[in-house]
Structure formats: structure tokens, C-alpha cells
């Protein structure tokens, strides 16, 4: 079943449902989405070539569209957000330097120590209450004045939306100050915008207002936008040219990648239009959860498609709750001992969120 193209033009989930098979309500991440029928058709008919030779017309089209949408000179299709971030770290820094980031970022927690292993830099994580990296928080962490004792700050990375902080949006007023001050000091700033379209939709602002001024931007096609694989790195012509070289070093030269880029193009053009629905569903989940025993959660603070709730006051820890939910066909992720994360996406509609809330109440309140 998995990966087969339906002659009826239905997605895998839709087909299962017409056969009366209920798939799990999978709220572990927005990476779990299956490609839509439109994406599968685009993949079937994609024109392809060898992208390492620059000859895949569909990849070239995707890169052009990404560059246009972000109003940058160039873009590069990469297999994953992690590779996009790590290419940026490699290109912006020198070995022995330091990269400043927020303490709960993907870069610091979930990229396998690759900044040290591949770029020879150390990370300086800054704990914040909200996940928003302000100039006030970054300034004391910069190391620029003492070349003989400290590792010089080579890069600052901002994550927007901030995943582990509960999908919070970093508004342009915050990044504008930070970018201005960093520019004055000659420190580059990379945007981990894995979910930057969610941030733009949540703020009701043009994407460009959230991305202008960053030296490079990574965003993911394979999260809320719904593509099966792929992320993009956007920036200056020379930066993207050098990024292409580093991508090859990492084994990311993907040959007839137009098959994947075709789905990416559908994700890029159509994906952003439906993100507001995911945000509504996340708020709906948060409002229900906030009324449950032992849950600490400010539902009004849920801005995008991610809900992180705190179980410090609960009799249960996060791993227990996740295991019990799975028995009820609802999948979630434990971030640590006391925090569970739910992520909404195009494969969970309101009805499925209602099912999830029902299961959550049963588990948390021992019904």
C-alpha cells in the first residue's frame, strides 16, 4: 500500500478510510504527512535530468520559484532541513568559532553534534523563557573582543517558528533589532525557518517581512507544506554556489531529484494556503487540553501548529501519557520527562482532533 499511486487519485489515508480502516491520529510531527494525490501525479509526470550536472529541469524550477518567493538571488534544494542548516553553519563560520542559538533549538538538540563534527564549531545555547532570541539575550553571549582567549562568535541562528518552544513565532520587530546589531558587528545570522510559512500565516504578514535581512534562510517543504522530502536553502548567488559544493560533500547530490522537486513545487505553491486550518486545530487541541487534570498550558499562547503541554502537576510523566495514548491510536511525542508535543498537519482534520482530545482526557483523567 505504502507509496502506491491510487488509480482513483486518492491519498493512502483516504483509501484506507474508504475501506473502513482507521489510521492512527498521528500528532507526532508535521513530517508524517503523506503526499497528496496532486503531488503524486506531479511526481509521476516530472521531467527529470541529472541534478549534479544542473540538468534537472524540475529541480531548477523549484529553486527558481523559492528564490523568487524569498526575493533572493538563488536557492538550493537539499534533502533535509538538517543538511540545509549544517551547510549554512559550515559556510558562515571558521573552525574554532562559536555559534549562538536558543537553548531549545533544533540545531542544538537534534542535529547530532554535526556543527562540531563537520564545521569544527561549538554552540553557545542561550536559555530563554519564550524561545524568542532577542538582541538583549544575544548581546552578552557574543565573543568578539578577545582574540587570544575566547572562541569568536561566527554566527547566530534564529529558529522561527520555534519548534520545542511550542511553535512560537518570532515577530519581525524582534529579529529586526537583532539583525541590525549583528550587521553592525559583522556577525552573520542564519534563519532556521523550517516552519517560516507557519510564522507568516500566524502573523498575517508577507513572508519576506520575516526573512529579509538574514544572511541565509533554510525552510522545509516536508513539514506543514506537506511534501514527502526536501528543504531549501536560500541566499546570495555566491553563497548558494558554495552551498552546492558542500551539499555534494555531504552526499546530497541527488541526481534525478526532479521526482521529489515536483512534489516540492506543489507544496510550495499550495501548502501555505491551508496552514491556518492547522493553526485552528492546534488551538482547538490546546483549549481542550487546558481543561484537563494535571495539564499546564496557556492555550492563548498557541500561535501555530504545535502544542507543547506541561505535565509537572500531573500524576503521570510524559512517556507514560504517550504510551497510553498510543494504545488508543493517538500518537504524540514526549520532549522530556514533563512535556508532550502535539503537531497538527494536513492529514489530521477537526474530527481527528476531537478523537485525540477524547483519548487525551481518558488517559490524563483515568476514565
- State yes or no: residue 34 binds ligand PLP (CB under 6 A): no
Stretch of residues binding ligand PLP (CB under 6 A), selected from 4-12, 58-66, 76-84, 257-265? 76-84
Cα distance between residue 42 and residue 61, in whole Å: 13
163 in contact with ligand PLP (CB under 6 A) = yes
- Cβ proximity to ligand PLP: between 67 and 217 the closer is 217
Our finding on whether 194 is near ligand PLP (CB under 6 A) is yes
Considering the rule CB under 6 A, would residue 231 count as an interface residue with ligand PLP?
A: yes
Based on CB atoms, which residue is closest to ligand PLP, 230 or 288?
230
157: its cell numbers: 541562528
Whole-number minimum distance, CB 302 to ligand PLP, in Å?
16
Binding track over 245-274 against ligand PLP, x by CB under 6 A: ------------------------------
Q: Rank residues 260 and 363 by Cβ distance to ligand PLP and give the closer one.
A: 260
- With CB under 6 A as the contact rule, which of the stretches 79-87, 126-134, 171-179, 327-335 interacts with ligand PLP? 79-87
Closest approach of Cβ 246 to ligand PLP, in Å?
15
Q: Of residues 220, 221, 275, 302, which one binds ligand PLP by CB under 6 A?
A: 220
Q: Which stretch binds ligand PLP (CB under 6 A): 37-45, 81-89, 329-337, 356-364?
A: 81-89
Q: Which residue is nearest to ligand PLP (CB)?
A: 81
> Which spans of this chain sit near ligand PLP (rule: CB under 6 A)?
80-82, 85, 106, 159, 163, 192, 194, 220, 222, 231
Amino acid at each position: 500500500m505504502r507509496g502506491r499511486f491510487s488509480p482513483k487519485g486518492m491519498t493512502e489515508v483516504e483509501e484506507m478510510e474508504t475501506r473502513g480502516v482507521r489510521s492512527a491520529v498521528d500528532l507526532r510531527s508535521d513530517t508524517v504527512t503523506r503526499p497528496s494525490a496532486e503531488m503524486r501525479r506531479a511526481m509521476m509526470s516530472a521531467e527529470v535530468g541529472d541534478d549534479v550536472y544542473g540538468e534537472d529541469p524540475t529541480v531548477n524550477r523549484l529553486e527558481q520559484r523559492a528564490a523568487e518567493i524569498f526575493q533572493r538571488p538563488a536557492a538550493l534544494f537539499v534533502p533535509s532541513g538538517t543538511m540545509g542548516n549544517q551547510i549554512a553553519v559550515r559556510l558562515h563560520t571558521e573552525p574554532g568559532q562559536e555559534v549562538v542559538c536558543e537553548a531549545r533549538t533544533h540545531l542544538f538538540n537534534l542535529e547530532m553534534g554535526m556543527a562540531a563534527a563537520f564545521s569544527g564549531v561549538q554552540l553557545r545555547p542561550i536559555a530563554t523563557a519564550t524561545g524568542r532570541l532577542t538582541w538583549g539575550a544575544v548581546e552578552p553571549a557574543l565573543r568578539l573582543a578577545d582574540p587570544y582567549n575566547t572562541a569568536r562568535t561566527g554566527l547566530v541562528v534564529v529558529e522561527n517558528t520555534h519548534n520545542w518552544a511550542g511553535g512560537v513565532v518570532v515577530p519581525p520587530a524582534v529579529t529586526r533589532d537583532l539583525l541590525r546589531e549583528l550587521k553592525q558587528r559583522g556577525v552573520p545570522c542564519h534563519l532556521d525557518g523550517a516552519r517560516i510559512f507557519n510564522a507568516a500565516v500566524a502573523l498575517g504578514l508577507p513572508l519576506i517581512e520575516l526573512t529579509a535581512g538574514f544572511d541565509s534562510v533554510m525552510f522545509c517543504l516536508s513539514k506543514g507544506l506537506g511534501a514527502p522530502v526536501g528543504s531549501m536553502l536560500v541566499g546570495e548567488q555566491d553563497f548558494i554556489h558554495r552551498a552546492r559544493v558542500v551539499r555534494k560533500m555531504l552526499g546530497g547530490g541527488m541526481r534525478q531529484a526532479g521526482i521529489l522537486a515536483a512534489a516540492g513545487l506543489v507544496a510550495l505553491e499550495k501548502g501555505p494556503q491551508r496552514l491556518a486550518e492547522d493553526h485552528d486545530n492546534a488551538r482547538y487541541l490546546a483549549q481542550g487540553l487546558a481543561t484537563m487534570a494535571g495539564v499546564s498550558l496557556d492555550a492563548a499562547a498557541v500561535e501555530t501548529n504545535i502544542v507543547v503541554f506541561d505535565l509537572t502537576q500531573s500524576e503521570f510523566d510524559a512517556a507514560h501519557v504517550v504510551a497510553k495514548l498510543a494504545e488508543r491510536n493517538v500518537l504524540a511525542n514526549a520532549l522530556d520527562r514533563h512535556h508532550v508535543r502535539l503537531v497538527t498537519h494536513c492529514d489530521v482534520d477537526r474530527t481527528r482532533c476531537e478523537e485525540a482530545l477524547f483519548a487525551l482526557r481518558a488517559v490524563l483523567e483515568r476514565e
